[in-house]
Structure 1
Amino acid sequence: MIILNENTKCLVQGITGKQGQFHTEQMIKYNTNIVAGVTPGKGGQEVCGVPVFDSIEEAKENVDVNASIIFVPAPFAKDAAFESIDHLDLVIIITEHIPIHDTMEIMAYAKAKGVTVIGPNTPGVISPKVGKLGIMPIHIFSEGDVGVISRSGTLTYEIASQLTRAGIGQSTCVGIGGDPVIGTPYIEVLEMFENDPDTKEIVLIGEIGGGAEEAAAEYIKDNISKPVVAYIAGISAPPGKRMGHAGAIIAGNSGTAKSKMEALTAAGVKVAQKPSEIVDYIKEARGE
């Protein structure tokens, strides 16, 4: 497993809000190690038995914590992210609609501090053996050795569900986020999965817009020895029209599903035409 493991001790920023409370409860039910919450002005309260503090600095004085998951509304997300980057090793930003300039500043700061950021606009990370830091429905995931990387939360759920139903479990599923600027791109997650003894095969789920999948294809060609299966959403998307995610927009001839599929195929990746084919390709890679 990668990113989320037995040593991850997480706090929830925005824990007293409706989303923060609901997902904290769900994460705890899945045995995730949630040790604290942070909402300025709400220190001293408890949510789902988790102590709430006014700041991350105060939380760190009272509990052992090394990660944060952010449910703070978009206008305040940058401040929340900067605070967590100052004090922690891993920051997962669930929030969507964060202004792109804010996101650029967050990522530059995280890079300078050597902190891993997942997101924003992500469903989070789930390692079925140890827990989840995110909003994904837990019943569709199962413990196993397929690593999943995706820009799309919904497609992650769809494909994980099909894998689980076929008896194929997952080591870790990572939603890298659907915005144009994100913290951890495909390449970095691919490298983690390549070095992860718990992961035997990798599923890459992409969509139209940007050049991330083409860059991933180049990286896979030279650096990944494990079988990779891919699916790209948006084959019939019209140019110039944003499809769902802020980053899912085709400009000119780049960023199309066709260009991404061709690049991945050229890198030796099996590219599924529809999500249901992924199970077949994983079984094929296993010689089943």
Structure 2
Amino acid sequence: MNPPGTTLVTGATGTTGSRTAARLIAAGHRVKAASRHATSVPGAEPVRFDWYDPACFGGALAGADRVYLVPPVGEPDPAPVMLPFLRQARAAGVRRAVLLSASAIPEGGPGVGAVHRVLPGLFDGWAVLRPSWFMQNFTGTHTHARSIREHGEILTAAGTGRVGFVDADDIAAVAVHALTDERAPGTDLVLTGPEALSHDEIAAVVTEVTGRPVVHRPLTYEQMRDRLAAQVPLEFATMLAGMDRAIAEGAEDRTTGTVRQVTGRPPHSFRAVAARELSRHR
């Protein structure tokens, strides 16, 4: 790995940002932990950062030579929001950028796919992480996790489609390598867990681990869209429901060896993550 530099981690209190910041700090790297309220992160310099407030960009970027990019949550078209910051980052001396995208969104695709397309032209070193759906969706604060705890059910429009769910800790491990290895990947990395599981299989594992019955209740695409639209903008809800429909059609039924190739160890299984994290909620 390179000698310790300073990494600006956006979304530093979020699912992957917090884990990436912690791993960087543990490895001896300086971290600026960026969040809207400059929340304190152990071992990091807290900085205020809001994608929608360009006035905070300069302070957040000061002294940073690399950046971990978590797109603004719930923004259906993040490119116009993110690109002014990315151009300012390049001008400020940032030479490496690692962007969090998703396995369902290719370069030039909708949403963050437009940012993916321009990233190589902005930075000398770059990578785009395209993880599958997070295992932590069922163990953390996501809607699915809350529904499991409160109602014992998982609601999706994914039918019997399988997904190579991935541990956020594995995403963070790959992110740290992409940020600090001597050479940046210079490509996109599709990240999955070791096996593809249906939501019925996820429910069965959660039931076994917690001892509480959990079931998967399938919804139609329209039901899922409307349910999500009560929580996020309609355009974003429509996109998310469309991703569930794509899962039902087999779009995410795959696994990759990327986590092992980058980190040198296999990805964590959902059973292992559920045992590690859901035991806290028994």
Shorter chain as denominator, the TM-score bin is: 0.3 to 0.5
Give the number of the structure with larger relative contact order, counting CA–CA contacts within 8 Å between residues 6 or more apart: 2
TM-score (norm 1): 0.38
Q: Which has the higher helix share?
A: 2
Q: Which has the higher strand share?
A: 1
